[in-house]
C-alpha cells in the first residue's frame, strides 16, 4: 500500500510550517513541497534589513534550507516547481518544473500556501530598474543592482510598512529617497497623530514625501536619471530605481482552478481549522483571509507571524490532528529609522466601518521613569462608547513600543473593557517603565470620558 501523501504548495513561512508540523506528528507521511522559487523557509520580514546591509548575507535569512528539510526532516522539497492547476476530483496537482517540464502529483491532503503577489502593476513596471521587496529572489536582485549600478536616487510607490522599511534601507545606503503615497497620510490604518509622527521622522531623515498623488506610469528618464515616475495630473519624479510597495494581494488563481471558494476580501476562505471549501484542501498564509477577533468579520492581514501560525495549524490538521487558529486582532509593529510604531485592533475609522461607536484618547507619556531619561511615547487608545469594550491601540516612540502593544493585543483577544485596564499589574522598574504605564494613563483618561 502506498504511503499517504501530503502535498504542500509554497515553501516559505506557511508552507514549511505546515510541512514541519505534519512531519512531527506523522513520521509515516510522505510530504512533498512544491516551491516555485529557489529558496524555502526564509524570513520575508527580514528582507528590508538585507537590503540595508544590516543583514550581510541572504543566507542568514534562511531558517533552514531545502537540503535540511530533505535530509533532516524527510520532506521532499522541490524547488522551481510551480503548481499550475489543482484537480480535486482526481486529487491531482499539476506543476511546471525547471525547463518547462510538466508533471502531476497525487495528493491525499493538500496545503495551499501560495502566498501573495504585489498588488498593483503600473505601466512601465517591467523595467529592469523597477523592483519589489516581496520575495527573496527579487530582493537579492535589487541588492545586486544597488551594489553594481550605484543608483543615487529611488522612488518608492506606497507608504505601507514595507515601503517605509525599504525607505530606511535606501537612506542607509546613501540613496536620495522620495515616497509617493496616493492618500493624504502614510501607513494606511494609522491614526493621524501616529502618521504625523512617522512623517516627521521621514522628513527629518531627508526622505521626500509626495502625498495625494497616484503613480500613473514609469517611463524612461531624461538627463541624469534613468527613470521617471509620472504621477497625479501631470507631475513626474526622476529616479535611478523604483520600488513598488503598494501592498500585496492573495494569490488565488490555483484555488480558483480547484473551485475553492474565496471570501469577501477576495482571499481564500477557510474555517478555523484552515480547511477550504474543498475537502482535503487546507490553505494558510498570505493567500487566505482570517477572522478579525475585534470586528468579528473576515479580514485580509498578510503577515509572516500569522502565516507561521496558520501553517502550523493547517499542517497539524492535514496530518489528522485537531488544531484551531482563532483569528487575529491586527497586531503590527515596525521600525522606521529610529521610530518604533506598533498597533493592534481597529483604527477609529475601521471601528466605525465595523459598526462600533468608537471614542478615543491620545496621550503622551514616556518609556521609562522620568529621572531615567525615558523617551516620549505617543499612545492612542480606542474603545466602543456604549459597551466600553476595547477596540484598538496605536503607539509610536523611540524605544519600548513594539512589545508594549502586546498587552493590548491580549486584552482585545480576551474582549476586555476599559475598566479592566485601570489598575492592571504591569511591570515597573525605573530602567523600563514610568510608575504609571502609558497604557494605564490612557485607560484612566478613557474612564473619565466614559463617566461624562
State the Cα–Cα distance between residues 119 and 355, nearest whole angstrom.
Answer: 28
Contact between 350 and 361 (Cβ < 8 Å): no
Binding residue for a copy of itself, selected from 119, 214, 236, 426, defined by CB under 8 A:
426
Q: How far is the CB of 86 from a copy of itself (least distance, A)?
A: 27
Binding residue for a copy of itself, selected from 376, 430, 445, 450, defined by CB under 8 A:
430
Stretch that binds a copy of itself, among 113-121, 179-187, 236-244, 425-433 (CB under 8 A): 425-433
Pick out residues in 278-297 that bind a copy of itself (CB under 8 A).
293
Stretch that binds a copy of itself, among 2-10, 109-117, 256-264, 307-315 (CB under 8 A): 307-315
**What separation in angstroms does the CA of 128 have from each of 138, 218, 233, 350?**
11, 11, 26, 38
11 part of the interface to a copy of itself, by CB under 8 A: no
Helix or strand or coil: residue 452?
coil
State the Cα–Cα distance between residues 112 and 262, nearest whole angstrom.
Answer: 13
Q: How far is the CB of 362 from a copy of itself (least distance, A)?
A: 20
Nearer to a copy of itself, 88 or 311 (CB): 311
State the Cα–Cα distance between residues 392 and 329, nearest whole angstrom.
Answer: 9
140 part of the interface to a copy of itself, by CB under 8 A: no
Binding residue for a copy of itself, selected from 28, 223, 425, 452, defined by CB under 8 A:
425
The Cα angle at residue 98 between residues 92 and 102, in degrees rounded to 5: 35
Contact between 19 and 315 (Cβ < 8 Å): yes
Strands 176-180 and 208-210: what pairing?
parallel
Contact characters 326-345, a copy of itself, x per CB under 8 A: x-xxxxxxxx----x-x-x-
Contact between 413 and 329 (Cβ < 8 Å): yes
Stretch that binds a copy of itself, among 29-37, 115-123, 227-235, 400-408 (CB under 8 A): 400-408
Whether 45 is catalytic is: yes
Binding residue for a copy of itself, selected from 4, 5, 25, 45, defined by CB under 8 A:
45
Nearer to a copy of itself, 241 or 443 (CB): 443
State the Cα–Cα distance between residues 310 and 4, nearest whole angstrom.
Answer: 22
**What separation in angstroms does the CA of 169 have from each of 133, 138, 148, 205, 385?**
11, 16, 17, 12, 41
The Cα angle at residue 362 between residues 359 and 368, in degrees rounded to 5: 140
* Contacting residues toward a copy of itself, per CB under 8 A: 13, 43, 45-46, 49, 54-55, 60-61, 63, 293, 303-306, 308-309, 313, 325-326, 328-335, 340, 342, 344, 369-372, 400, 402-407, 409-411, 413-414, 416, 420, 423-433, 435-437
Residues with active-site annotation: 45
Amino acid at each position: 500500500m502506498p504511503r499517504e501523501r501530503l502535498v504542500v504548495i509554497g515553501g516559505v513561512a506557511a508552507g514549511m510550517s505546515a510541512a514541519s508540523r505534519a512531519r512531527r506528528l506523522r513520521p509515516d507521511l510522505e510530504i512533498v513541497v512544491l516551491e516555485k522559487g529557489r529558496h524555502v523557509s526564509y524570513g520575508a520580514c527580514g528582507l528590508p534589513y538585507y537590503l540595508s546591509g544590516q543583514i550581510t548575507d541572504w543566507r542568514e535569512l534562511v531558517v533552514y534550507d531545502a537540503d535540511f528539510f530533505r535530509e533532516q526532516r524527510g520532506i521532499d522539497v522541490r524547488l522551481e516547481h510551480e503548481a499550475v492547476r489543482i484537480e480535486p476530483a482526481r486529487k491531482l496537482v499539476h506543476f511546471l518544473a525547471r525547463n518547462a517540464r510538466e508533471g502531476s502529483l497525487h495528493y491525499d491532503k493538500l496545503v495551499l500556501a501560495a502566498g501573495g503577489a504585489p498588488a498593483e502593476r503600473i505601466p512601465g513596471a517591467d523595467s529592469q530598474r523597477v523592483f519589489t521587496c516581496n520575495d527573496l529572489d527579487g530582493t537579492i536582485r535589487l541588492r545586486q543592482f544597488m551594489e553594481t549600478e550605484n543608483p543615487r536616487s529611488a522612488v518608492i510607490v506606497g507608504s505601507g510598512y514595507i515601503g517605509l522599511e525599504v525607505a530606511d534601507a535606501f537612506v542607509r545606503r546613501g540613496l536620495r529617497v522620495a515616497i509617493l503615497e496616493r492618500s493624504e497620510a502614510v501607513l494606511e490604518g494609522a491614526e493621524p497623530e501616529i502618521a504625523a509622527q512617522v512623517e516627521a521622522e521621514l522628513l527629518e531623515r531627508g526622505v521626500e514625501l509626495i502625498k495625494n498623488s497616484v503613480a500613473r506610469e514609469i517611463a524612461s528618464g531624461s538627463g541624469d536619471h534613468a527613470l521617471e515616475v509620472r504621477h497625479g495630473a501631470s507631475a513626474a519624479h526622476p529616479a535611478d530605481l523604483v520600488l513598488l510597495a503598494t501592498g500585496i494581494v492573495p494569490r488565488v488563481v490555483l484555488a480558483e482552478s480547484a473551485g475553492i471558494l474565496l471570501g469577501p476580501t477576495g482571499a481564500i476562505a477557510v474555517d478555523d481549522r484552515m480547511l477550504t471549501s474543498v475537502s482535503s484542501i487546507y490553505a494558510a498564509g498570505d493567500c487566505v483571509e482570517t477572522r478579525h477577533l475585534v470586528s468579528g468579520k473576515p479580514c485580509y492581514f498578510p503577515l509572516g507571524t500569522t502565516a507561521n501560525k496558520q501553517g502550523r495549524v493547517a499542517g497539524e490538521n492535514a496530518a489528522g490532528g485537531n488544531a484551531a487558529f482563532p483569528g487575529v486582532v491586527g497586531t503590527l509593529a515596525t521600525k522606521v529609522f529610529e521610530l518604533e510604531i506598533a498597533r493592534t485592533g481597529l483604527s477609529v475609522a475601521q471601528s466605525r466601518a465595523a459598526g462600533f461607536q468608537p471614542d478615543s484618547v491620545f496621550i503622551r507619556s514616556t518609556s521609562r521613569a522620568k529621572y531615567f531619561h525615558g523617551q516620549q511615547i505617543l499612545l492612542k487608545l480606542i474603545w466602543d462608547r456604549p459597551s466600553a469594550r476595547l477596540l484598538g491601540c496605536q503607539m509610536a516612540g523611540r524605544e519600548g513600543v513594539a512589545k508594549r502593544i502586546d498587552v493590548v493585543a491580549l486584552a482585545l483577544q480576551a474582549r476586555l473593557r476599559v475598566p479592566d485596564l485601570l489598575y492592571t499589574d504591569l511591570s515597573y522598574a525605573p530602567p523600563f517603565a514610568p510608575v504609571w504605564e502609558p497604557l494605564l494613563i490612557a485607560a484612566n483618561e478613557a474612564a473619565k470620558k466614559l463617566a461624562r
